Structure 1
Amino acid sequence: MSDSSRRDTGQAAEGWALTHLEEHGLRLLTRNWRCRLGELDLVMLDDDTVVFVEVRYRRHSAWGGAEASVDARKRARLSAAAQVFLQQQQRWARHPCRFDVVAIGPAERRSSPQLNWIRGAFDA
C-alpha cells in the first residue's frame, strides 16, 4: 500500500471514528494535533472530560488486529503527547482526562467497517 493510499485510509478511519463519537455526544476539540513527541488523532470532550482518542485501522485481524497495535511504546508516546497538549492548552489542564481507542477492522458483509470503541483503554 502506498503512503498516500495509507494516509487516505487513515483519514477515512478517523472520519468514521469521529462520526461515531459525535453521535455518542462527544465534541471535537482538535484533530491530528502534533508535537515533537507524537500525534493525537482526536482530542474530544465528553461532558467535562478531555478524551485523547487513538484511531487504529487494520485490513485484517492477523497479529491481534487494531486493538493489539496500541502497544506499550505507543501508549507511552500518546501519554507524552497528551501531557504536552495539556501544557500548551491550559484551558483543559484541570479537566479529568482519559485515553480511548477506536479500533476499526474490515467490514464483514456490511457496507461500513467494524468499529470497536474502547473507553478508558489505558491509563497514562
Structure 2
Amino acid sequence: MNFLGKRPPAAATPGAAKKATTRDRGNAAEDQALAHLQAAGLQLAVRNYRTPGRGGGEIDLVMRDRDGTLVFVEVRSRTHGGFGGAGASISATKQQRIIFAARHYLMRLPSPPPCRFDVVLVEEGVQWIKAAFDAH
C-alpha cells in the first residue's frame, strides 16, 4: 500500500503477471485464425484494414484463396459460450460495416476479383465458416 492507502497497479507489484486485455485476447484470436487459414493455403493480403473517418468499418483479415478469391474474414472470440457464443455476436449492423469496408478496399483495385465473407470463431478451438454472409 502507498501513503494514500491504495494498492499500486498490478504492473508495479514485483512478480505480478500482467492481465490480458480484451485487445490482447483479440489479437491472439486473430493470430490463431491467421495461422489456421494460412495452413489451409490462404495468403494474407492485409490485417486490420480500416476505412478512414468515423462510422466506417474494419476487416480483421483480408486473405487471398488459392483460386484468386479475395476473402474478407471476421474473427470472433469469446472466453465462454454465454449469450450465443462468438458467432452470435456478428449482428446485421456488424455485417454491414464489414461489407462497407470491403467495398472501400475493393475501390482501390483496378479489377475486383471474386470475393466472399468468411468468419472464424475462436472459442474452444478454431471454426472456419466459409461464405458466412453475403453483401446485400
Which of the five TM-score ranges fits, normalised by the shorter chain? 0.7 to 0.9
Alpha-carbon separation, structure 1, partners of 2:40 and 2:96:
27
Q: Which runs of 5 or more residues in structure 1 are unaligned?
A: 108-113
User: Who is 1:102 aligned against?
Assistant: 120
Higher share of residues assigned helix: 1
Query: Would you say 1:53 and 2:53 are equivalent positions?
Result: no
Q: Distance in 2 between matches of 1:60 and 1:115?
A: 14
Q: Kindly report structure 1 stretches of 4+ aligned residues shifted beyond 4 Å.
A: none
- Structure number with greater Rg is 2
Q: Give the root-mean-square deviation of aligned CA atoms.
A: 1.1
Q: CA deviation at 1:71?
A: 1.1
Counterpart code for 2:93: R
Measured after TM superposition, the shift of residue 60 of structure 1 is 0.7
Which blocks of at least 5 consecutive residues in structure 2 are unaligned?
Answer: 1-19
1:3-14 map, 5 Å: 5-14=21-30
Give the structure 1 partner of residue 126 of structure 2: 115
- Which residue, out of 30, 38, 44, partners 2:46? 30
2-structure distance, mates of 1:96, 1:31: 19
Cα distance in structure 2, aligned partners of 1:62 and 1:5: 19
Q: CA deviation at 1:94?
A: 2.3
Distance 2:112 2:79 in 1: 38
